[in-house]
Amino acid sequence: MFRIILFLLLVIPIKTLAQNKTCDSVLFCKTNLIKHIKSLSSDAFEGRRTGSQGAEKTQKYIINQFHALGVLPLLKGYKQNFDFIEKREYYKGVNILGYLKGTVFPKDYIVISAHYDHEGIKQGEIFNGADDNASGVSALFSIAEYLKKYPPKHSIIFAAFDAEELGLEGSKYFVKSSTVDSKHIVLNLNMDMISRSEKNELYVVGASDNKVLKEVLQGHKCSSKIKLKLGHDGYDGLDNWIYSSDHASFHKKGMPFLYFGVEDHKDYHEPTDTFENIQPDFYVDAVKTILSVFKKVDDIKL
Ligand SMILES: [Zn+2]
């Protein structure tokens, strides 16, 4: 009897510790990173098409996470409403914007962004958009979690943009709305499709024409197994991704950007872009890599 009790006493604390350890890593909780991409790309969110019930549900989910993580609302209720016409159809979009104040350069903003919208339901099929771009949104949460623990030097705007798939409309509106004066935005760090790569490669775009960012990236050593590759920016013969996602809206207004993403894959914009087809280990490493680049740029007066 005594032995059994002793056994229980020993086992219970160890198990509790082990569970906490997963969620008490130095950087961020990996379990949560995976949990949120899984939720956001589940059928319950109906492919998150702009203006749909699924999009509304996604907005609530993001707001709840921002709130729980201690990210402050940049605007009332975290919401930035806008409307636009695309192919003669009228849409209402909603960006979700959170905020953390910088400790050293509080007037200078780094906008960390990921679009949350996707393709919705077409001919009865749900386009879940796990990699595109539930992966970027869940990464926003992990980065926020990290920055609550280790406050950033620059002020940070966490931007979950709407209507990227309909022509970068959410980010276009954000940069023209002057919610924050563009001269105070020193960098956009955009994430769009970061959860899978057969070659274990993550691309970073936007450093080639920026001396400071180029120096940071060229000297950057990844601690993870990921190969971080500079390119896809018009100089290497590969597809030019400078205008491929929301970072383009910042770039067009002359603001520096870094875009992180993977090569297109067979499930890109297909109903098979599902949680089952992401690579969790690659994804965790990708977010760690992005965070390590962020830390370096945040250290510099940009
Ligand atoms: Zn995308």
- Gap from CA of 133 to ligand 1 centroid (Å): 5
120 is written with which tokens? 């919705």
* CA 219 / ligand 1 centre spacing (Å): 28
Quick check: 257 and 209 in contact, CB under 8 A?
Answer: no
Query: What does the pLDDT look like over 180-190, one tens digit per residue?
Result: 999 999 999 99
Judge whether residue 3 has pLDDT over 60.
no
Q: Measured in angstroms, how far is the CA atom of residue 166 from the centroid of ligand 1?
A: 10
Phi-psi region of 39 (alpha: psi -120 to 50; beta: other; left: phi over 0): alpha
What type of residue is 140?
L
Contact 121, 48 (CB under 8 A): no
Ligand 1 centroid to residue 85 C-alpha, Å: 20
Region 273-298: what's the mean pLDDT?
96
- Euclidean distance between CA atoms 115 and 71, whole angstroms: 18
Q: What digits encode the pLDDT tens for the residues 62-83?
A: 999 999 999 999 999 999 999 9
H helix or E strand, kind and range, residue 99: strand 89-100
Residue 231's identity, in one-letter code, is: G
Which one has a higher pLDDT value, 244 or 24? 244
Tell me how far the alpha carbon of residue 205 lies from the centroid of ligand 1, in angstroms: 15
265: CA distance to ligand 1 center in Å?
12
For residue 221, report the distance from its CA to the centre of ligand 1, in Å.
27
Ligand 1 centroid from CA 53, angstroms:
19
Q: Which residues contact 90 (CB under 8 A, 6 or more apart)?
A: 83, 84
DSSP code of residue 150: S
d(CA 95, CA 170): 6
- What integer is the mean pLDDT of 245-262? 97
Domains of the chain: 30-299 (3.40.630.10)
Q: How many A from CA of 161 to the centre of ligand 1?
A: 10
Confidence of residue 302 (pLDDT cuts 50, 70, 90): confident
Q: How far is the CA of 4 from the centre of ligand 1 (A)?
A: 54
Q: Is the pLDDT of residue 248 over 80?
A: yes
Q: How far is the centre of ligand 1, averaged over its atoms, from the C-alpha of 76 (Å)?
A: 26
269 Cα: distance to centroid of ligand 1 (angstroms): 9
Output b/e per residue, 192-212; b: 16+ Cβ within 10 A. bbbbbbeebebbbbbbbebee
Q: For the chain, what percent of residues have pLDDT higher than 90? A: 85
> What pLDDT is attached to residue 71?
98
Q: Which residues contact 231 (CB under 8 A, 6 or more apart)?
A: 203, 205, 238
Residue 268 has pLDDT above 90, yes or no: yes
Q: Which helix (H) or strand (E) is 154 found in, with range?
A: strand 154-161
Ligand 1 centre to CA of 94 (Å) is 16
**How do residues 124-170 score in pLDDT, each as one tens digit?**
999 999 999 999 999 999 999 999 999 999 999 999 999 999 999 99
* Contact criterion met (CB below 8 Å) for 58 and 45: yes
Confidence of residue 4 (pLDDT cuts 50, 70, 90): very low
- Categorize the per-residue pLDDT at 22 as very low, low, confident or very high, splitting at 50, 70 and 90: low
Q: Report the DSSP pairing between strands 154-161 and 105-115.
A: parallel
Euclidean distance between CA atoms 240 and 189, whole angstroms: 17
Tell which residue, 175, 292, 163, has the closest CA to residue 224. 292
What pLDDT score was predicted for residue 19?
Answer: 42
- Please name every residue paired with 230 in a beta bridge, in sequence order, or none if there are none: 204
Evaluate whether 168 touches 122 at the Cβ level (below 8 Å): no
Per-residue confidence band for 178, with pLDDT thresholds at 50, 70 and 90 = confident
pLDDT digits (tens, 9 = 90+) for 213-235: 999 998 788 777 899 999 999 88
* CA dihedral sign of residues 32, 35, 40, 45: negative
